[in-house]
Every structure is written in structure tokens, then in C-alpha cells.
Structure 1
Amino acid sequence: MTTSRTDPPLAADEATTLVAFLDYHRDTLRLKTEGLSAEQLGQRLPPSTLTLGALLKHVALNEASWFGEVLHGRPMPEPWAGADWEADRDWEMTSAADDSPEELRRIMDESVEQARRDIDAALAAGGLDFRSARLDRKQNQQFTLRWILLHMIEEYARHNGHADFLRENVDGVTGE
């Protein structure tokens, strides 16, 4: 499967622009991990323990958490609900080594597809000012959909930078 990436529009409304930038960054991570074996997805760049496979599973967790659990108040689905977070607070990262490339991509793709439905529902119900079901733990306030979209763009952008270094270390491939 080859990922195609579409540049965000230069002139669009705010919601369309934010969702397009999020999709752009989602596709960027897919591109940076495309065509790699399980061994390559598990390769580290010491002293870090981070891997490309771990990034795929980590962003999938973030998609499910921010758009499902925080925004809409749903319990976390599997594989997150059954994880022993007490024993390993980085479970999504460490357990990625046990998943095949196909499984990692499936988990990410399913999380993204559900997140797209969650975003569409929030936009239809209240637009970018739609308020989250869950409260922020520090300030005890609701998040807006706008804030969550911007946070997720930042999250992907940061991890895409990590993916640049990891992918170059795996096979020398560099790029956007």
C-alpha cells in the first residue's frame, strides 16, 4: 500500500484547514514507516529506546484518547482498555515490538478512522468550539475541539521529527 499525502489548502475555513493539517501529518508518519519490516520498525537509535513501530502505536493511542475518551467521553477501546498501564505506563510503546507491521498500521488506521468520525460529529454538533466530555486535570476545564486538533497537529509534527531520524538510521531514507 502506498500512502498519498495531500498538502493542506492555502485558503479554506478554519475547521477544514485544521483537519487537513492533521491528515497531512498523519500521512507523513505513514510515509515514514511505509515498506518497513518488523525488524526495521523495531530498530532503535541509541541511546533512545524509541522506534518507528512505537510511534505508530503511540499516535493510535492518542487518537483514541483525545477524540474518543476526552472529546466524546467514551471508554477506551481495545487494545488500550486491556493494557496493564500500572505495570508499564509506556505500554503502547513497549508492546509495539510484539506487533507485526500490518497490525501496527491496522491499529493506527482504525484509530484514525474513528477519530475522523468523532471530529465530524463534534463539528456537526458545535463546530470548533464543541466542548469535551472530559475535563483537563490541572485546570478542571473542558477542552474545545479546536484545542484538541491543534494539540494533535503538534503531537504528530513532533513525532514526525523523531521519525525522520529513526527512518534515516534504518535505511538512509530522508525526506519531508
Structure 2
Amino acid sequence: MPGQVGPIANEQDGLLAYLAQMRYVIKLTAHGLTPEQLRATPSASPLSVGGLIKHCASTEEGWMTIVRGESQPADYQAYATNFRLADGESFDEVLARYDRVAEATEKTVNDIANLDHPVPIDHSVPWNPQDRDFWSLRWVLLHLIQETARHTGHADIVRESVDGGTAYPLMAAAEGWPETDWLKPWKPSV
């Protein structure tokens, strides 16, 4: 996938393309990391690259459950566990889950095909507006783009703290870009 979203045909296509780009970029922060590095928390926070990717998958899955009108238990205790890889949990499983979530999101949005589709607002949390009853599907997709981009920034910092890897050199390594005078693909330190 290139470093920029390509031309888009319409608003729905654009929202899905930008969400896909953010998913791709956060997954790139894990490129070449060992299982220990994926769990590493090298900053003042308890965030790890693997945990941030797991959280983004869980968040997107939760929102799409609401969009589809399926019941979702409000388990705020599980919220904290979604920011870390559990003992014995493989990162490959997390990536496979994120891919399934992405596929389900695209199917849901394409099946609904109405960005004004009403999505109920959870009034049990204080950060949601109490004077409105619905978000739109458009709002949910913009929120998921924002949420994934925010956590991609966190993952960038964690990744750089782990081994110095940064976004474009990681993308160059993952995609096999040729080395130039101004951009060298990331390589693992020996």
C-alpha cells in the first residue's frame, strides 16, 4: 500500500480508504519486531506496539457491533486488557483478528450504504453528549479514523523507543522500496 491514500470515488470510499490506511500504518509499527519487542513498554506509559494494535482492533469491532445493532456488553474491565497482549496470546492472532474486523467493517458499511444511518449513543459514559440520541455512520467512521491515527502516533513513539524504527523507513522495508540518499529502509540491528 502506498504512503498516501489514492484517488477516491465518493465520501464512503474515502472514509473506508482512510481507515484502511490508518490500519495499515499502525500495523507497520510492528514490522520486524520480536515477540518481546511487541510487548515492550519503553515509555512512561504501559503502552506497547502489540497492545495498541489489539486495542484498535477491539475498538473498531465494538463500534461496528453497535452500528449493526447487535448487543455489546459494556465490560469496561476488559478495556484495560485490550491495551496489552495477554500471556500466550500470539501477535499473529491479533493481526488475523484485525484483518477480520476490517473485512467486517467494510462489509457493514457497504451493506448499509447510508452514511447518515443512525447509530445509538451510549449515554452511560460521561464523554458522550447527553442531549443527542444518535451518531451517524459517517461520524463513527471519522471517529475510527481519529482513534486509529491517535494510537498510531502512540505506536510510532513506542516503536522508536524500542529500536529506533520510524514510519517511512519501516514502510520502505515492508514494501521493498529501494534505498535512496534521503530514505533508507529500516533494517534490524544486529
TM interval, short-chain normalised: 0.7 to 0.9
RMSD over equivalenced CA pairs, Å: 2.2
Which residue of the other structure, out of 101, 106, 115, is the alignment partner of 2:105? Answer: 115
> How far, CA to CA, are the matches of 2:97 and 2:24 in structure 1?
15
Which residue of the other structure, out of 50, 53, 75, is the alignment partner of 1:53? Answer: 50
**Any conservation in 1 of the 2:121–2:134 contact (CA below 8 Å)?**
yes
Deviation of 1:172 after TM superposition, in Å, equals: 1.1
The residue type paired with residue 106 of structure 1 is A
**Any conservation in 1 of the 2:54–2:84 contact (CA below 8 Å)?**
no
Work out the percentage of aligned pairs sharing the same amino acid: 31
Alpha-carbon distance change, 16 to 88 in structure 1, aligned in 2, over 3 angstroms = closer
Which residue of the other structure, out of 91, 99, 121, is the alignment partner of 1:135? Answer: 121
Deviation of 1:153 after TM superposition, in Å, equals: 0.7
The residue type paired with residue 146 of structure 2 is E
Alpha-carbon distance change, 129 to 174 in structure 1, aligned in 2, over 3 angstroms = same
> How far, CA to CA, are the matches of 2:8 and 2:102 in structure 1?
24
Does residue 149 of the first structure (1) align with residue 141 of the second (2)? yes
The residue type paired with residue 57 of structure 1 is K
Alpha-carbon distance change, 113 to 52 in structure 1, aligned in 2, over 3 angstroms = same
Q: Specify every segment of 5 or more residues in structure 1 that has no aligned partner in the other structure, as ranges.
A: none
**Any conservation in 2 of the 1:41–1:53 contact (CA below 8 Å)?**
yes
How many residues align? The count is 162
| Residue 162 (structure 2) aligns with | 170
Q: TM-score, normalised by structure 1?
A: 0.81
| Residue 72 (structure 1) aligns with | 68
> How far, CA to CA, are the matches of 1:46 and 1:154 in structure 2?
22
* Range with bigger deviation, 55-64 or 85-94: 85-94
The residue type paired with residue 59 of structure 2 is N
> How far, CA to CA, are the matches of 1:139 and 1:94 in structure 2?
34
Alpha-carbon distance change, 6 to 114 in structure 1, aligned in 2, over 3 angstroms = farther
Q: Specify every segment of 5 or more residues in structure 2 that has no aligned partner in the other structure, as ranges.
A: 124-129, 169-190
